[in-house]
A = this chain, B = another copy of it.
Amino acid sequence: MTDSFRNNVINKLQNGDFDCTKEFTVSMFSGKHKLMILWILIQEGPQSFSYFMNNLKGISKKVLSNQLNELMDDHLIDKSEYMVGRVKHTQYSMSEIGNTLVPIINSLNAWGEMRLNSVDIEKKFNR
């Protein structure tokens, strides 16, 4: 799409970050909180920076900022900003491309549930 994405992918290719298209897809999720960020946006719609800070357990500002930026570099999420007085507010949301990932995320979810149920592990997940 844009040049930024193009360069991003070309760098990853050159760095040998992935050797096949599957690994490219998985690289979209590689980051401790990325799946949860996407899931929150899918389930709950657009959210602010601070919403993620409050709802992702144990994440720091730096890491959240990094992962949001990477998701934007990969064009999976969009961002808008607006000012309230002198204070900046943000709104992150799923992009059109990001939404094409929803079926995959759902199947990841289903497989994990099936597998955990099969061994009768007591689950106590937030989401």
Contact = CB atoms under 8 A, between A and B. Distances in A.
A116 B121 CA distance: 38
A104 interface: yes
Given A23-B36, A26-B29, A112-B24, A104 B101 contact: no
Interface in A86-127: 97, 100-101, 103-105, 107-109, 111-116, 118-119, 121, 123, 125-127
Could you say which of A100, A113, A125 has the most chain B C-beta atoms within 10 Å of its C-beta? A125
Interface of A: 1, 5-6, 9-10, 13, 16, 19-26, 29-30, 35-36, 39, 57-58, 97, 100-101, 103-105, 107-109, 111-116, 118-119, 121, 123, 125-127
